C-alpha cells in the first residue's frame, strides 16, 4: 500500500524558533514530494515541493530536506512566526500508468506561540 507517514501529529514552537516536520514514504516510484499548508476552514495550498533528484530545496524561510536512500523528507520552517500556525501535509506522487495521484500524510498541526 502506498503510505506516507508524517510526524509529529502536533507541534508547538516559540516565535523565532525552527519548526521541523518529518515524513517517510514506502513507494519508491514516487517522483514528486509536495508540502501543503492549510488554515482552518480553508483548502490546502502548495507551500513547496521537491523532486528526488535533489537533496534540498529552499524557498524563503521554508526548506525541504530529502533523503532518497532512507525514503524520508522533512520540512524546516526557520524563524517561525504566529502566522505560520496551520496544518501542514506532506505528500508523495507518481505519474505511473498515465495517472497522477497524491498520497497525503495525516498532517501536523503547528502552533507558533509569541
Partner 1 sequence: DGGITQSPKYLFRKEGQNVTLSCEQNLNHDAMYWYRQDPGQGLRLIYYSQIVNDFQKGDIAEGYSVSREKKESFPLTVTSAQKNPTAFYLCASSIVPITGGNEQFFGPGTRLTVL
Per-residue x/- marks for partner 1, 88-107, CB under 8 A? -x---xxx--xxxxx-xxxx
12 belongs to the binding site for partner 1 (CB under 8 A) = no
68 belongs to the binding site for partner 1 (CB under 8 A) = no
| Pair 47, 35: CB distance under 8 Å | yes
* Distance (Å, whole) CA 55 – CA 68: 8
The nearest distance, CB 79 to partner 1, in angstroms, is: 25
User: Of residues 17, 49, 57, 65, which one binds partner 1 by CB under 8 A?
Assistant: 49
Q: Residue 99: which residues within 8 A CB-CB, separation 6 or more?
A: none
Amino acid at each position: 500500500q502506498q503510505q506516507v507517514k508524517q510526524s509529529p501529529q502536533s507541534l508547538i514552537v516559540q516565535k523565532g524558533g525552527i519548526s521541523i516536520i518529518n515524513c517517510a514514504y514506502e513507494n519508491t516510484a514516487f517522483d514528486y514530494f509536495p508540502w501543503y499548508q492549510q488554515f482552518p476552514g480553508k483548502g490546502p495550498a502548495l507551500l513547496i515541493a521537491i523532486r528526488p533528484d535533489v537533496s534540498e530545496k529552499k524557498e524563503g524561510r521554508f526548506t525541504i530536506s530529502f533523503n532518497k536512500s532512507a525514503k524520508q523528507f522533512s520540512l524546516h520552517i526557520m524563524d517561525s512566526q504566529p502566522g505560520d500556525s496551520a496544518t501542514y501535509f506532506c505528500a508523495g506522487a507518481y505519474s505511473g500508468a498515465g495517472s497522477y495521484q497524491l498520497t497525503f500524510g495525516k498532517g501536523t498541526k503547528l502552533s507558533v506561540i509569541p
